[in-house]
A = this chain, B = another copy of it.
Amino acid sequence: MQRNRTAYVILGLLSIEPNKSGYDIRKAVESSVGNFWSESYGQIYPALKKLAAEGLIEPSHSTSGTRKRRQEYALTESGSACLREWLALPFQNDPPRNEFLLKLFFGHEAASGVSMGHVGELQQKNRRMLATLLEIEAYAQRQQSQNPNKPYWMLTLSLGIALTRAALDWGESALAQLAALETALAEAPQPAEINSAASGT
């Protein structure tokens, strides 16, 4: 069903900046699209070989002086066309897999405090995430003013920021609700009918 997207990531990154090696591409994936994509060497190197064999990329050498033993690549015309073709195809996101939500869903089975712990952990992660996203945004706002990719990069960034903020807001409310739930359970282990007739001891 979903195939080959490693190849398109490579084509896309080479379209932004040519003369990249497999190593460069790995680093570029981490530092640019790392918040919503990932690739490992085990995919990148074979994909490079295949793309070169198909003529979508070709070996190149960076203009800047003698570098180490490394094979760099650049997009060919057909590679560029292939990328544009793929971009025009409808996107389809992978089946979702969110272990945090899965554990929260089964929270009733968990020991006391476990779910609150998970939400707290998520809050920390999201706070860190928000900080880095805002940093990147500020940096991109300062530099990159003439980069034609910038508007698109800012859009991906602003979606990340918006989602993280929404998650943080939710987390605060969730912590409150879980705290209320735990105290309620602690006080009334069998809360059969809370608001029926008043119950003496």
Contacts and interface: CB of A to CB of B under 8 A. Distances in A.
A122 B91 CA distance: 9
B155 A37 contact: no
Contacts of A149: 107-108
A133 interface: no
A170 interface: yes
Mostly, the A contact residues are: helix
Interface residues of A, number: 66
What is the oligomeric copy number? 2
Given A38-B95, A84-B111, A88-B110, A155 B177 contact: yes
Contact of A32 (B35, B99, B105, B155): B105
Interface in A1-59: 2, 5, 8-9, 12, 15-16, 32-33, 35-38
Contacts of A97: 36-38, 93-94
A130 to B, nearest CB: 13
A173 to B, nearest CB: 8
A90 B158 CA distance: 28
Nearest to A100: B91
A200 B158 CA distance: 36
20 contacts: A8-B102, A12-B105, A33-B101, A37-B102, A38-B97, A83-B106, A84-B109, A87-B109, A87-B110, A90-B118, A91-B118, A92-B99, A93-B97, A94-B99, A104-B152, A104-B155, A155-B178, A159-B174, A162-B170, A165-B166
**Top-8 shortest CB links A-B:** A166-B166, A107-B152, A87-B110, A36-B98, A12-B106, A36-B101, A38-B95, A91-B100
